[in-house]
């Protein structure tokens, strides 16, 4: 029985990553490390500022804190192992580490899909129902929507990842990617995976297609409401309210759709790795930059906190 278990479930996986281009690995190491540091710091700043400044204790920034914490967790579940593999010749990850990685990455990826849809509903309520906004987006509902996002992502990860983990791999342990991703682990199985594939398609529809549909519906209603605004000031406020979220949605869903909803092509595998590198490493860094550089309220709150901590709290510069 022990021999069968060892054959079915390898002790380690070999993450091939970018090993076909060894000259590229040192450059990628520096690139990924720099972006990871900026990502953690940027998202951490948003969390701290949103919690410390009372003017940011609103539904929009409550969901933004959730998004920033999610991005830190998501990139941390992948980048440290990627850096280890890029640094030296060792390209392995333990079986347990691989399982934990695709459980967590699947959970957080699905959660972000739902959370972005929730944030689009918040923007819809702010622009289309401004007089009832505080009644609609009351704290209890905000907490419930955030909890549902995290719980929904966890549920689909537990189901899909557990089904994948139960597949016998018969000694196959070479993953042609830089992290353990559920579809790639499925490809190593030495049994029929039709049921697992159906589960992935159903989960993709529920956690990718449906949230994207809700986002499109919300923004179609927002666009209709904006068209009825006569003043330039009203247009400007609507643009400032939605532009950051639209940019984040475009980055996240653009890469996800490219990765998972296009027909499989053998010759696009290397391109797929670069896209995966973008949405696992670059996008979590861009999110805080988008929300801070394009948001005067966050920049003002950040300056206020910095000045207070530097002993200039009594000065009136705003």
pLDDT at 314: 45
Note whether residue 144 is domain-resident: yes
Please tell me the pTM assigned to this model: 0.86
Which residues of the chain are under the pLDDT cut of 50? 1-7, 264-267, 314-318
Count up the domains in the chain and report the number.
1
Note whether residue 3 is domain-resident: no
Note whether residue 273 is domain-resident: yes
Q: How far apart are CA 202 and CA 159, in angstroms?
A: 12
Residues 6+ apart with CB under 8 A from 234: 226
pLDDT at 8: 62
Note whether residue 311 is domain-resident: no
Cα pseudo-dihedral 208, 213, 214, 215, rounded to 10? 90
Q: How many of the other CB atoms lie within 10 Å of CB of 289? A: 14
What domain range is 154 assigned to? Answer: 12-305
Q: How far apart are CA 137 and CA 18, in angstroms?
A: 46
CB crowding 13-47: b at 16 or more within 10 Å, else e: bbbebbbeeeeebeebbeebbebbeebbebbebbb
DSSP string, 234-280: HHHHHHHHHHHHHHHHHHHHHHHHHHHSSPP-GGGHHHHHHHHHIII
Residue 202: give its domain's CATH number.
1.20.1070.10
Note whether residue 155 is domain-resident: yes
Note whether residue 179 is domain-resident: yes
Residues 6+ apart with CB under 8 A from 31: none
- Which residues are paired to 93 by β-bridges? 13
Note whether residue 140 is domain-resident: yes
Note whether residue 310 is domain-resident: no
Phi and psi of 175, rounded to 5°? Answer: -105, 115
Phi and psi of 253, rounded to 5°? Answer: -70, -30
């Amino acid at each position: 029985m022990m021999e069968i278990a060892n054959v079915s479930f390898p002790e380690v996986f070999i993450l091939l990553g970018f090993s076909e281009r060894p000259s590229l690995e040192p450059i990628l190491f520096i690139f990924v490390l720099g972006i990871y540091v900026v990502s953690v710091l940027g998202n951490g700043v948003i969390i701290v500022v949103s919690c410390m400044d009372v003017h940011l204790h609103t539904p929009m920034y409550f969901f933004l804190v959730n998004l920033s914490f999610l991005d830190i967790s998501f990139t941390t579940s992948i980048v440290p192992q990627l850096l280890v593999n890029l640094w030296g010749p060792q390209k392995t990850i333990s079986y347990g580490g691989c399982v934990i990685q695709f459980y967590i990455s699947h959970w957080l990826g699905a959660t972000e899909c739902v959370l972005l849809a929730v944030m689009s509903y918040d923007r819809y309520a702010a622009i289309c129902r401004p007089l009832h906004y505080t009644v609609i987006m009351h704290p209890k509902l905000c907490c419930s929507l955030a909890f549902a996002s995290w719980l929904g992502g966890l549920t689909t990860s537990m189901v899909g990842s557990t089904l994948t983990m139960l597949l016998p791999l018969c000694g196959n342990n070479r993953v042609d990617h830089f992290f353990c991703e559920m579809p790639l682990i499925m490809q190593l199985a030495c049994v029929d995976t039709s049921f697992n594939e159906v589960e992935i398609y159903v989960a993709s529809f529920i956690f990718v297609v449906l949230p994207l549909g809700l986002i499109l519906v919300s923004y179609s209603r927002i666009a209709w409401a904006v068209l009825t605004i006569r003043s330039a000031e009203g247009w400007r406020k609507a643009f400032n309210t939605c532009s950051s979220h639209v940019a984040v949605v475009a980055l996240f869903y653009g890469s996800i759709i490219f990765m998972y909803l296009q027909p499989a092509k053998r010759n696009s595998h290397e391109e797929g790795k670069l896209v995966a590198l973008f949405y696992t490493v670059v996008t979590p860094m861009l999110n805080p930059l988008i929300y801070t550089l394009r948001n005067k309220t966050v920049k003002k709150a950040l300056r206020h906190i910095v000045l207070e901590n530097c002993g200039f709290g009594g000065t009136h510069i705003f």
